[in-house]
């Protein structure tokens, strides 16, 4: 099965290295500034080369799409979680949390529309802390009436782990390649 390539329109800066990576053996005048970022739509980790003279800040939103980019010269490529700087790793959870909050309706839609993966396992069961019992309660509750918010999921499904935190944990697991199944990130 061929993986579909996704393109990010915007990225959130996790870390900016104005003098490139410290472990780069090239002389200082040959090093390139590097930015590590997370795509806003698909949670893709990216390595970016800023335009000359740009100084990027953590949490800054930058345009990565087609056409004229104001701050980014080009995208070097995808970045594995293991290659993130310590600063980027530290900021990652805050950025994911913020993006999940902003996209709450999309994730609530996931709770309303997700389906079984196979005869034994449901997509909901891939979320940390959600087993068969919670999965059945969610499916039963959404059949009565679709959910409209994370708060409503918590109110209508007894003892379910916080849906927002569960989504954040799942995205971080996928970025860390802890599971072959992908719910929220590509590849």
What is the pLDDT at residue 186? 83
Q: Which residues pair with 2 in a beta bridge?
A: none
Catalogue the long-range contacts made by 135-144 (C-beta closer than 8 Å, 24 or more residues apart): 138/111, 142/111, 142/112
How many angstroms separate the CA atoms of 162 and 127, rounded? 11
**The whole model's pTM is what?**
0.89
pLDDT tens per residue, range 16-47: 999 888 887 788 777 789 999 999 999 999 99
The bridge status of strand 10-17 relative to strand 61-63 is antiparallel
What is the pLDDT at residue 20? 85
- Within 10 A of 128 (CB to CB), how many other CB atoms are there? 15
How many angstroms separate the CA atoms of 166 and 80, rounded? 22
What is the pLDDT at residue 22? 80
What is the pLDDT at residue 161? 92
Listed in sequence order, the residues at least 6 apart from 124 whose beta carbon sits closer than 8 Å to its beta carbon are 111, 114, 130, 134, 135, 138, 139
Going along the chain from its start, the domains and CATH numbers come out as 10-83 (2.40.50.140), 103-175 (1.10.150.280)
pLDDT tens per residue, range 110-133: 999 999 999 999 999 999 999 999
Residue 65 has which token pair? 């799409």
Listed as ranges, residues in the chain with pLDDT below 50 are: 1-3
């Amino acid at each position: 099965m061929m993986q579909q390539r996704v393109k990010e329109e915007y990225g959130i800066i996790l870390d900016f290295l104005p003098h490139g990576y410290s472990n780069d053996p090239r002389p200082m005048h040959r090093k390139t500034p590097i930015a590590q970022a997370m795509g806003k739509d698909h949670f893709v980790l990216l390595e970016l080369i800023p335009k000359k003279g740009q100084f990027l800040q953590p949490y800054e939103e930058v345009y990565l799409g087609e056409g004229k980019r104001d701050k980014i010269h080009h995208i070097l490529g995808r970045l594995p979680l293991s290659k993130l700087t310590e600063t980027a790793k530290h900021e990652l959870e805050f950025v994911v949390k913020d993006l999940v909050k902003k996209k709450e309706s999309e994730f609530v839609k996931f709770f309303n529309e997700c389906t079984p993966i196979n005869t034994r396992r449901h997509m909901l069961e891939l979320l940390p802390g959600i087993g068969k019992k919670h999965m059945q309660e969610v499916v039963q509750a959404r059949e009565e009436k679709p959910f409209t918010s994370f708060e409503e999921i918590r109110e209508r499904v007894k003892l379910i782990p916080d849906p927002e935190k569960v989504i954040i944990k799942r995205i971080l697991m996928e970025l860390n390649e802890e599971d072959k199944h992908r719910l929220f990130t590509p590849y």
